[in-house]
Amino acid sequence: MATDVLVNGATEILKKLGTVIAREISLAWGVKDDLAKLRQTLEMILAVMSDADKRQINDIAVRLWLRRLKDVAYDADDILDDFSNDQYMRREMHSLKHKSFFITNKYLRVLNLSGSLGKVIPTSIAKLNHLRYLDLSYSNVDSVLHHQIISSLYNLQTMVLHHCKQVLKLLENIGSLKNLRHLDLSQIDELEILPDSITNLYNLRTLDLSYNFGLEALPTNVGALKHLRCLDISSIGISELPDSITKLYNLRMLKLSILQELPRDIGELKHLRCLDLSCTEIKELPESCTKLNNLEMVNLGRECKLPKDIRNWTKLRSFVHRRELHDEMPRGIGRLTCLETLCSYLVRNKDVMEPNCLGIEELEGLNLLRELVIRNLEHVRDQIDAKRANLKGKQNIHRLNLYWSINFNEEEEEEDELNEQQSVVLEALQPHPNLKVFTIDRFMGSKLPTWMGVSSSNCLSNLVELHVIKCCRCDQLPALGQLPCLRYLAISGMDDLKYLGNELYGIGGGESSVVGEKEAAAAAATSFPSLIELSISEMKNLEEWVAPPPTAAAAVTSFPCLETIEIYSCPKLRITPTLFPSLKELRVDASNYNAISSIVRDLTSLTSLHLDKLPELIFVDSRGVHQNNNLLQDLEIYGCRNFQGFRVDGDKFEDKNDDDEALSTSLHLNISSLRSLVIRGCPALTLLPDIPGLTSLRGLTIQNCGECLKSLPYNDLYVDGK
């Protein structure tokens, strides 16, 4: 019976799978993981098929099993091909290292001659009757003899011609390679027309034509490649696909770019798994796309309008687009229970949305999500709908971005009500504690949620990365200092925030703070225990960033792992902590000079310092008893218009700006270990350090620093006084 044949075929594939998995060969494309998953699927189908003989062949369940088994067989065949090629490549290329005359091995299966441009390809490869894999990347195959030799390799299954020269004649005769399964024709500069002979490769599974910018069209009968699984025509000049492409019934992956329109019958590609339109100019999907029931990955990019209904894409695992405010979310999202990536979900405005559509509660059953971006959250007006989204129950979610629209306005008298409403909504959008990366952008409330800190057992105890952006109405941050796994923190555009202090560390005041003297000491002693990088930017009203209370424990262990600090556009910041025992890199741009002078003073681990647009900076005092930072290797000073240069600490020097006390500031640095010094856009520069004394210096760049440097005698250094 038909079922016996299928069972025997599946059993044979399982034997092959068992053999290759047992070899434990690590593959570049994750084939080993695919093999294990495929083996589990086959075992499940075999268990069901064991009693298939007892059923009628018109039984719907049996017919579905048979159809699925056919797909699995295709997948198994593809994966085993990739595995075998990789295995042969590793074994044979290893053996080539030990053989001078490898071409004499008539049983050779893998041959890599890439980079043979200008060299003669050995004619003896014509004797390699067992050759399966040939890589001629970056080679020149211009001779007639080369064409004849390659065209005679009838057992060849994979050929790589990436960036080859003079290949057009070879391609005209390539139709003789009937067993060819994988063909790489990427980045061939001279390729403008693809010869019709390509369509004679009936067994071709993969065709890579990417980065052929001069290629203007595919053969009109490209549909003859019935077994083609993957077609990559990204980054090429084709703006229209031939209608016959809809006959590639076994196509699984289609990579496109520049294209302006899809064929009307693209929905005939029933086995298509991946549709990537991110680099195309396609404005709208054909209606037939609703029939693509096997799609697993869709990226519509920025140009393509969102379809109205995608309820039939039930196997979809990744849905990505960049339409943001332009469209309404397709109907049927709630049925896509296999979704792992959803970027972005656009919350519908219930005041104007169509009948039978849902709001954010549509996300309730999507519990496999790993990455989720939600936009237009201003349309969520009550905590009931927010809770129904069930973010707290999505234990697989690792990355979550929450966005509010920048163009949402309310009457001034409703502002207080709006603040309270949005704060309640955000509190109800609490994610699962497994969350690793969290972004909150343009939140319209005045109070960030308690679950961002350590107020309860439901805090984000596994959070590694946090971005708080343009939450303009918030004047306080939660107790982020107690998040045990937080490694990266970015705070930006919080206009109402003036003070970073005890609340941030979880000490005193606020609902999320630690209470009691012992608790306060413990919190201070462990504040930001895992933080490695901190960025504070666009904080136009921030004045003070203070350290935890001055206990011995706090002085030793606050920010114990912090290696990088970035302070951008914080013009009023005048007080910062001073103890960062592990700090290696400090970048300060368009901020108050006091923000860096206090930090740098006591640093012992700093290796890189970047200063940009600091008008208060006049001098760097390069020696003295106060400098502990003797590990400094890279110093960059950009756009400091009043910076005059380097002087030895204590030297008297007439300050050109001595009438302005605010500009008479010096930065104490030990530069004896410098390896790189870059100064750009400092027109007042007149004093360079003692270059011969900087014995570790390997690079010196001075640009756009006025006319005064042209006479300096540094003939062997890069000095540009323009």
Dihedral angle at the C-alpha atoms of 68, 72, 74, 80, nearest 10 degrees? 180
Locus of tokens 């003079």:
166
Q: What percentage of the chain carries pLDDT values higher than 70?
A: 72
Judgement on whether residues 15 and 68 belong to the same structural domain of the protein:
yes
Judgement on whether residues 83 and 133 belong to the same structural domain of the protein:
no
Does residue 559 lie in a domain region? no
Confidence bin at 187 (pLDDT 50/70/90)? very high
Helix ranges (H only) for 680-722 are none
Does residue 551 lie in a domain region? no
Judgement on whether residues 168 and 200 belong to the same structural domain of the protein:
yes
Which residues neighbour 246 within 8 Å (Cβ) at sequence distance 6 or greater?
Answer: 223, 263, 265, 266, 268, 269
List the one residue out of 264, 301, 308, 298 whose CA is nearest residue 280. Answer: 301
List the one residue out of 683, 593, 595 whose CA is nearest residue 645. Answer: 683
H or E element that contains 500: strand 499-500
Beta-carbon neighbour count of residue 659 at 10 Å?
8
* Average pLDDT, integer, range 193-208: 93
Q: What is the largest CA-CA distance in the chain?
A: 103
Q: How far apart are CA 486 and CA 491, in angstroms?
A: 14
Q: How far apart are CA 601 and CA 374, in angstroms?
A: 43
Which residues neighbour 706 within 8 Å (Cβ) at sequence distance 6 or greater?
Answer: 682, 683, 684, 685, 721
User: pLDDT (tens digit, 9 = 90+) per residue, 101-149?
Assistant: 445 677 788 888 887 655 667 777 888 888 999 998 988 887 667 778 8
H or E element that contains 682: none
Could you check whether the bond before residue 344 is cis, i.e. omega within 30 degrees of 0? Answer: yes
User: pLDDT (tens digit, 9 = 90+) per residue, 463-505?
Assistant: 999 999 999 999 999 989 989 999 999 999 999 999 998 888 8
> 688 is in which domain, residue-wise?
609-650+667-717
Judgement on whether residues 88 and 116 belong to the same structural domain of the protein:
no
User: pLDDT (tens digit, 9 = 90+) per residue, 536-570?
Assistant: 999 999 999 988 875 544 444 789 999 999 999 99
In eight-state DSSP terms, residue 99 is -
pLDDT over 70 at 361, yes or no? yes
Residue at which a domain ends, from 205, 233, 251: 251
pLDDT over 60 at 329, yes or no? yes
Judgement on whether residues 89 and 111 belong to the same structural domain of the protein:
no
Mean pLDDT of the chain: 79
List the one residue out of 214, 195, 151 whose CA is nearest residue 177. Answer: 151
Confidence bin at 83 (pLDDT 50/70/90)? low
The answer to whether residues 649 and 604 touch, using CB atoms and an 8 Å cutoff, is no
Q: How far apart are CA 179 and CA 174, in angstroms?
A: 11
Confidence bin at 599 (pLDDT 50/70/90)? confident
The answer to whether residues 626 and 669 touch, using CB atoms and an 8 Å cutoff, is no
In eight-state DSSP terms, residue 101 is -
Give the domain CATH number at 121: 3.80.10.10
pLDDT over 90 at 41, yes or no? no
Lowest mean pLDDT among 102-116, 216-230, 284-298, 688-702: 102-116
Tell how far CA 132 is from the center of its chain. Answer: 35
Judgement on whether residues 74 and 172 belong to the same structural domain of the protein:
no
What would the DSSP string read from start to end of 654-679? --TTTT-GGG-EEEE---TT-SEEEE
What would the DSSP string read from start to end of 581-650? TT--EEEEESS-THHHHHHHHT-SS--EEEEES-TTEEEEE--STT---TT--EEEEES-TT--EEE-TT
Judgement on whether residues 221 and 158 belong to the same structural domain of the protein:
yes
Count of structural domains within the chain: 3
Judgement on whether residues 698 and 614 belong to the same structural domain of the protein:
yes
Judgement on whether residues 642 and 673 belong to the same structural domain of the protein:
yes
**What is residue 659's predicted lDDT score, i.e. its pLDDT?**
41
CA distances from 322 to 278, 284, 332, 343, 379 (A): 9, 14, 19, 8, 19
The answer to whether residues 111 and 157 touch, using CB atoms and an 8 Å cutoff, is no
**What is residue 420's predicted lDDT score, i.e. its pLDDT?**
80
Does residue 418 lie in a domain region? no
Does residue 401 lie in a domain region? no
Residue at which a domain ends, from 251, 281, 297: 251
Q: How far apart are CA 565 and CA 500, in angstroms?
A: 15
Judgement on whether residues 124 and 52 belong to the same structural domain of the protein:
no
User: pLDDT (tens digit, 9 = 90+) per residue, 652-666?
Assistant: 544 444 444 434 467
Residue at which a domain ends, from 52, 67, 93: 93
List the one residue out of 316, 320, 309, 260 whose CA is nearest residue 284. Answer: 260
Q: How far apart are CA 335 and CA 345, in angstroms?
A: 14
Q: How far apart are CA 102 and CA 691, in angstroms?
A: 56
What type of residue is 379? H
Judgement on whether residues 55 and 177 belong to the same structural domain of the protein:
no
User: pLDDT (tens digit, 9 = 90+) per residue, 203-243?
Assistant: 999 999 999 988 988 999 999 999 999 999 988 888 889 99
Confidence bin at 415 (pLDDT 50/70/90)? low
Does residue 354 lie in a domain region? no
Query: Of residues 612 and 168, which shows the higher confidence score?
Result: 612
Q: How far apart are CA 13 and CA 330, in angstroms?
A: 40
List the structure tokens of 383: 């905590």
Judgement on whether residues 141 and 63 belong to the same structural domain of the protein:
no
Query: Of residues 150 and 22, which shows the higher confidence score?
Result: 150
What would the DSSP string read from start to end of 251-320? --EEEE-S-----TTGGG-TT--EEE-TTS------GGGGG-TT--EEE-TTTSPPPSB-TT-TT--EEE
Does residue 507 lie in a domain region? no
Does residue 688 lie in a domain region? yes
Confidence bin at 692 (pLDDT 50/70/90)? confident
Which residues neighbour 468 within 8 Å (Cβ) at sequence distance 6 or greater?
Answer: 440, 448, 477, 490, 491, 492, 494
List the structure tokens of 259: 């294209």
